[in-house]
Amino acid sequence: MTFSGSLHVYPRSFQRLSALAFGLALLLISQTAIAHPGSLWGIDLSSVVALRDQARIAAYRSAGAPGERLNRVSTIVLDPGHGGDNSGAIGVAGIREKHLTLELAYHLREAIQERYPDVRVVMTRYWDTSLSLPERVHLANLAQADVFLSLHYNAAVHNRAVGYETFYLRPQDVTPEPAPVEEHTDHHDASPIEGARLVGQHGDDLVFIQRDLIRAHQHELSARLAHSVQNGFRGHLDSIDRGVKQANFGVLRGAHMPAVVVEAGFLTHPDEGSRLIERAHRQRVVNALLDAIVNFDAELEHVLDDQP
């Protein structure tokens, strides 16, 4: 039978194969976009990346299906730490951190979308690839994320360190995008801070005030997110609470949204390191982070409602 005859006899099979091939190509392009933001073959990759989630969200909303919804958080970016030639920590069982963080991100993404189908979840990497710290932040900003979680597992030079901890930037390290200002103008330029105005030669002073306000607000929200994560861990993990801490981590600098680094346990601890590779323990970490997102969303609702 000739190929043309096959098309005539099996049109539906061919259509299904064509659809499958197109879907695989689209998936490849979308994942390439995450790893290498920009454009490919003239295609706007930022749009292609979101295509699958947009279709899922649209189908969910059009169906009018009942389900839980978050109030303020609509886009979450998960950053599986390390990747490619950067293995991160190597645990007592020989497992590499980069593989554990990717596995955790996939399962957390699935849990979020199963519970909140209209929430968009973007990952900075979908396979074992290298990404610089600025690239990870750029992807989160490009996605206009409401929450940025950089997922990690800890390590120490000795094997006694144990427990979970969460980091956010120090106030002086928060660098919100500066607002544009035209110097020595006679008109009033609207400021991103509601109610503020940039007036003539005093514009520079107001820009500094504006930056401080943005920095303080973002720092407060990141602190709330960090405490939500730590509270989630406390409720699900049987380990040591090492607390919420501030540090100048490059993967958080320049983020335009509440952003934290999550350290879910020590790979180098003999007991904890062995537990971290267990499926049941991974699920407890997923549940803890899901609770953290839900609780942060509730806090965000109150914080934004209380603003004048």
Residue 279, domain CATH = 3.40.630.40
Q: Please report the pLDDT score of residue 93 as a whole number.
A: 78
178/259 same-domain check: yes
40/108 same-domain check: no
Segments of the chain scoring below 50 in pLDDT: 1-11, 14-15, 18-19, 22, 25-26, 29-47, 49, 178-202
Q: Please report the pLDDT score of residue 175 as a whole number.
A: 65
- Per the domain annotation, does 58 fall within a domain? no
- Per the domain annotation, does 268 fall within a domain? yes
- Per the domain annotation, does 61 fall within a domain? no
- Per the domain annotation, does 99 fall within a domain? yes
84/13 same-domain check: no
- Picking from 172, 173, 171, the residue whose alpha carbon sits closest to that of residue 223 is 171
1/78 same-domain check: no
93/211 same-domain check: yes
- Per the domain annotation, does 83 fall within a domain? yes
pTM score above 0.85: no
Number of domains in the chain: 2
Q: Could you tell me the CA-to-CA distances from 78 to 15, 162, 193, 272 in Å, in that order?
A: 35, 24, 28, 23
118/204 same-domain check: yes
Q: Please report the pLDDT score of residue 29 as a whole number.
A: 44
Q: Please report the pLDDT score of residue 266 as a whole number.
A: 97
Question: How far is Cα 228 from Cα 232, in angstroms, rounded to an integer?
Answer: 6
264/127 same-domain check: yes
Phi–psi pair at 113, nearest 5 degrees: -70, -30
2/104 same-domain check: no
Strand, helix or coil for residue 26: helix
Beta carbons of 146 and 74 less than 8 angstroms apart: yes
- Per the domain annotation, does 95 fall within a domain? yes
Range of the domain at 40: 1-49
